[in-house]
Amino acid sequence: HYRYKYLSYTKMNKFLERVQERATKADVYIGFIGKSFEGRDTPYVKITSKRDSRPRGTIFIDGGIHSREWISPAMALEVIHRLALNTEQDSQVDQLLDMFDFIVVPLVNPDGYAYTFMPETGVTLGRLWRKSRTSNYSNDFSCYGVDLNRNFGYKWNNSPSFGGSSDPCSPSFSGPYSFSEPESNNLRRLLLANKDVIKGYLSFHSYGQYMLYPWGYREDVEIEDERDLIHVAKAFKDIMQTKNYNYHVGGSAKSLYPAAGGSSDYVRGVVGVKYSYTLELPPVEGSWGFIIPERKVEPIVTDTWKGIKALLFRLHSYT
Ligand code: 0X9
Ligand code: ZN
């Protein structure tokens, strides 16, 4: 069985197809946002209630922008499984599908992810690869790729401290210009196509246990409606607290570090979605860092799903 495992790119696609075949209570549509630099098709899943086709707001979720953060696509697949199959017969899932449509892109950066799966690539260059795998900007194989979370087009490369690098060899290379990369550009297209219906955006990353809202590009700019953003995020934090996860809620730049060109700044600043978050998943204590043993996937994603549900219920009460 494919649940609660770290799936390769190929197995992930099989997982999605199986979910679609087995889905009886929800409508599951699998589409593609485009191809990656190395030519991998990048699927997205749209999950909607079978009950009626009245218009609903959409929750947009993505994972795997950073390839080494394996818990992120695993979390996105869990969201898909829960919503589409609801094998737990959770009545809250029925309610959520009554409130929202869902679009999930579980793996934004399939090339980087596939690279982290190659057994021959050593730990530092292989398993811990963060960027995409573009080879346009350098001839040196160790300098491939762009940090996709520095490549989105809102205040891209904003000075003075943009939290990225113009050096193609840096792990946080922001690219030659915004949306230079097929992967970020593919995501932009799907976001803009749904601009008018997206009510919430969640981007899964790891690690550190943060629920971050804009702005990420500078610490000295206030965000409008900060209290609402905090209140919705607190619904997540409070549930996670009961499971002994200590999450921090705050502005991206202030709580973590300034970094321009992130997806959640773009979603707030250009797509115009008020509730736009970056979720930094565990661990922080125990510190396995990016490398979380597979046996921990099930407890982490099942616990986190409860927090996400709480966040969505509160978000719905605001919209
Ligand atoms: O640096 C990032 O892109 C994110 N952290 S990660 O460890 N997953 O790489 C944080 C993005 C949040 N935005 C800002 N801090 N600006
Ligand atoms: Zn990340």
Alpha helices per DSSP H over the chain: 9-22, 71-85, 91-99, 110-116, 182-193, 226-242, 252-255, 263-266, 297-318
| Minimum CA distance residue for ligand 1 atom 2 | 149
Average pLDDT over residues 217-238: 97
State which amino acid sits at residue 22: R
pLDDT at residue 287 is higher than 70: no
* Prediction pTM value: 0.97
Instruction: Look at residue 165 and give its three-state secondary structure.
Output: strand
Task: Considering every ligand atom shown, identify the ligand nearest to the alpha carbon of residue 207 and give its number.
Answer: 1
What is the predicted pLDDT for the residue at 64?
98
User: pLDDT for 119-134, tens place per residue?
Assistant: 766 665 689 899 999 9
Domain boundaries, the chain: 9-318
Question: 10 near 26, Cβ under 8 Å?
Answer: no
The interface predicted TM-score (ipTM) is 0.98
Query: What are phi and psi for residue 200, nearest 5 degrees?
Result: -155, 145
Catalytic residue among 78, 280, 285, 294: 280
CATH class of 9-318: alpha beta
Q: How far is the CA of 69 from the centre of ligand 2 (A)?
A: 6
Q: Identify the nearest ligand to the CA of 154 by its number.
A: 1
* Cα–Cα nearest to 85, from 22, 143, 138, 133: 22
Distance 65 CA to ligand 2 centre (A): 6
User: Among all chains, which residue has been given the structure tokens 């996860």?
Assistant: 245
Ligand 1 pocket residue status of 131, Cβ below 6 Å: no
In the numeric block, which tokens belong to residue 270? 């250009």
With b for 16 or more beta-carbon neighbours within 10 A and e for fewer, the 263-286 pattern comes to bbbbbbbbbebbbbbbbbbbbbee
Ligand 1 centre to CA of 41 (Å) is: 25
For the stretch 69-86, pLDDT in tens is 999 999 999 999 999 999
Residue 120 designated active-site: no
